Amino acid sequence: MPQLGERQQDRYIRHLVLPGVGKDGLERLRSSSVLIVGAGGLGSPCAFYLAAVGVGRIGLLDSDRVDLSNLNRQILHDTCRLGIPKALSGMETLNRFNPDVRVISIIERIRPENAIKLLTGFDIVLDCTDNFAAKFLLNDACVQCRKPLVHAGVSEYGGQVMTVLPGQGPCYRCVFSEPPPDGAVPLPAEAGILGAVPGVIGTLQATEAIKFLLGLGDLLVGRLLVYDALKMTFREVPISRDPDCAACGGNPNIRLPSASTPE
Amino acid sequence: MRVILNGKERDIPNGLTVDGLLNHLDVRPQRVAVEINRVIVKRDRFAETYVQPGDTIEILQFVGGG
């Protein structure tokens, strides 16, 4: 792999001098890959900060198109991109922001049939999806192929984040065993969302991913971090593995088609 | 009786089940997971699990937006 050029060194100088990152860390990040599932409110800060730190390959997965109602929070896109697939709009933004980063735009919806295949080849996955079906599916797929996952969710004035290292700590299903009944929990489309809230939570997800890739600090494994923007509090809830968890327990009963299974 | 609810000490009526506690707090059971003393209470046990004095209870909201 080529050395960091002088131009690149200037871009990364604050990381170059940062204890725990430095030249080795930057090289490590440059040879790493992250899959961001959902290029929306959470995906936007994730994408920006991972590109800024120089992660070598970023997968941006989203099947939606940019809508004006997205722009109170989805800062990866802008008014000129209305109607364009978010994965493409996001790729354009990142290419301009940091041309060092290889961005792979994936215009797909994550489904049980393609989930494992889509995760393959990435070092860590960020759950930036906007619905429960996708959050549970992503958790199950990551557990099944032992892929690190940073789960997050936001609504109204709050959010939560937890890192899942399959085999080492609890998964999303250890907390929430199954999706809530349809319509029981209002999503941001109905309930609203303060735009800065996914900015906070997505930035935490990006921080977790960078720490994981560099082997730095303590990850949010076995800890659900709950953010309340109105009270301006972060509460850390200890979470244990559920031995009966349908995804990661001793006798899991969730099995998704593997990457080699034809769709 | 006194419990620790979402990190804060709080007085709640005696003899409540998890369902009873959620009802007392006006929280819809379908919208949350409940952890007592670091163990998640399974949804089908909400009606038969009693809250004890001194319990550390976490009511965790489903948060689905992105």
How much of chain A exceeds pLDDT 90, in percent? 91
CATH number of A32-238: 3.40.50.720
**Pick among 3.10.20.30, 3.40.50.300, 1.10.10.10, 1.10.3080.10: CATH of B2-60:** 3.10.20.30
Model ipTM value: 0.95
Q: What's the number of CA atoms in the CB half-sphere (13 Å) around residue A255?
A: 4
8 Å CB contact between A16 and A9: yes
Domain segments of chain A: what residues?
A: 32-238
Residue A230 has pLDDT above 50, yes or no: yes
Of residues B38, B40, B64, nearest to A155 (C-beta) = B64
- Report the C-alpha gap between A42 and B27 in whole angstroms: 27
The answer to whether B45 faces chain A, any CB pair under 8 Å, is no
Contacts of residue A208, Cβ cutoff 8 Å, sequence gap at least 6? A150, A161, A163, A219, A220
Distance from the first to the final alpha carbon of chain B: 38
Which one of A187, A200, A239, A242 makes the best mutation probe of the B interface by having the most chain B beta carbons within 10 Å? Answer: A239
8 Å CB contact between B21 and B57: yes
Mean pLDDT of chain B: 97
- Chain B residue closest in CA terms to A201: B66
- Chain A residue closest in CA terms to B58: A237
Domain segments of chain B: what residues?
A: 2-60
- Tell me: the pLDDT tens digits for A39-75? 999 999 999 999 999 999 999 999 999 999 999 999 9
In the A/B pair of chains, how many CB contacts fall below 8 A?
Answer: 85
Nearest to A62 by CA among A48, A80, A45, A41: A41
The answer to whether A38 faces chain B, any CB pair under 8 Å, is yes
Question: How many other C-beta atoms can be found within 10 angstroms of the C-beta atom of residue B33?
Answer: 22
Residue B20 has pLDDT above 60, yes or no: yes
